[in-house]
Amino acid sequence: MARDLPLIERSGTVGWSCPSNIALIKYWGKKPGQLPMNPSLSLTLQEARTTTTIDYSYAPGKKGMSFRFRFEGKEAPAFGERIRRYLENIKAQLPVLSRTDLDIESGNSFPHSSGIASSASAMAALALCLVELEAEVSGSMDSERFWQKGSRLARLGSGSAARSVFPQFALWGQSPQWEGSSDEFAIPVEGFHGTFLNLRDSILVVDSKPKKISSSAGHSLMGTHPFGKVRFQQARENLEFLHSALVEGDWQDFIRIIEEEALTLHAMMMTSRPGYLLMQPGTLSILQLIREYREETGCRLGFTLDAGANVHLLHADADALEVEEFIRSELLGFCEDGRVIRDKMGQGPLKYGR
């Protein structure tokens, strides 16, 4: 039997619900070991979530790990295979896994084909369940270590998932002005101006189909990208500027930086070798209309983009009615079946019992 493993059998259920997040400073490009080329900063969402529960059974004498995975009540072989590889990959960091049977059940709060990336919320929820399982089997774990290990293990599943274990804003990546920041896990960031603590995110669904080029393929193209070095430096500078804007409550700078980050992300995709386009004509129309509306009305709203065609329209809670009317009258026509997902800044993971 491996040394240092608990000697007592234990079985139980652990469950976590984790939100998705949208990056304001983008992670695009990584090094081996799932480490980012630059720090990123994200807004945690509230409504778009994955809930995962694991029924487990640990016995010190078991030979190997077994697992079963179901997504929304059904077997899901493709995701199951990804989880199998993930569990193999993290076994060294969670030794109890090698003596445990896992029955994993997962589901999303948002429709599967909504164009909302689910890997961040899914891998974060799975990682928190696994850290909780380890804590139950082996005794206890202090709170800081729990969140740090959760974020570290989430990162190994999907880089952006590292940020989904914290409320409001999270920073992932070593960065001199942030004490405690690391490439290996995200940290929660606080102290921002009240004007940014009730942000809303109206997600304009231009295209709900899964994207043709995965984020992992996109990240790997950054290794030889002609503008890679400049981009990684730009992200570091933008992080500093965004930090100041968030602390000072400066909407103008906030909007300027998040839109630059969104457009740079897509510029990197377009100018990769080979290059590719994820924006659609409807995406561009929406971006133009947002800028025109802002110029005409002075309304505090700006956009960001994920690795896809959908537009995240960020605005203050106080302007929700006005923005809703703008969406209805000018933007809805560019959305697939008129779909908009209404989300907002969120309060982070929830422990889930059953």
Range 13-32, binding ligand DP6 (CB under 6 A): 23, 26-28
> Measured between alpha carbons, how far is 23 from 57 in angstroms, rounded to an integer?
37
Range 301-330, binding ligand DP6 (CB under 6 A): 306-307
- In the bound state with ligand DP6, the residue whose beta carbon lies nearer, of 26 and 99, is 26
| Residue of 45, 41, 21 whose CA lies nearest to 257 | 41
Asked if 169 is part of the footprint of ligand DP6 (rule: CB under 6 A), the reply reads: no
Question: 337-349 burial, b if ≥16 CB within 10 A, otherwise e?
Answer: eebbbebbbbebb
> Measured between alpha carbons, how far is 5 from 138 in angstroms, rounded to an integer?
8
Asked if 44 is part of the footprint of ligand DP6 (rule: CB under 6 A), the reply reads: no
Asked if 40 is part of the footprint of ligand DP6 (rule: CB under 6 A), the reply reads: yes
| Residue of 170, 309, 193, 308 whose CA lies nearest to 253 | 193
* Beta strands 66-71; 100-108: pairing state: parallel
Q: By CB under 6 A, which span of 132-140, 211-219, 286-294, 309-317 interacts with ligand DP6?
A: 211-219
- In the bound state with ligand DP6, the residue whose beta carbon lies nearer, of 268 and 327, is 268
- In the bound state with ligand DP6, the residue whose beta carbon lies nearer, of 29 and 282, is 29
Asked if 38 is part of the footprint of ligand DP6 (rule: CB under 6 A), the reply reads: no
- In the bound state with ligand DP6, the residue whose beta carbon lies nearer, of 154 and 323, is 154
- In the bound state with ligand DP6, the residue whose beta carbon lies nearer, of 44 and 215, is 215
- Tell me if 67 sits within 8 A of 86, measured CB to CB: no
Asked if 268 is part of the footprint of ligand DP6 (rule: CB under 6 A), the reply reads: no
- Tell me if 347 sits within 8 A of 21, measured CB to CB: no
Question: 222-240 burial, b if ≥16 CB within 10 A, otherwise e?
Answer: beebeebeebbebbeebbe
Total binding residues toward ligand DP6, as defined by CB under 6 A: 15
Q: By CB under 6 A, which span of 94-102, 153-161, 198-206, 295-303 interacts with ligand DP6?
A: 153-161
Asked if 119 is part of the footprint of ligand DP6 (rule: CB under 6 A), the reply reads: yes
- Tell me if 303 sits within 8 A of 290, measured CB to CB: yes
Min separation Cβ 26 and ligand DP6, Å: 4
In the complex, which residues of this chain contact ligand DP6 (CB under 6 A)? 23, 26-28, 40, 119, 158-160, 215-216, 219, 265, 306-307
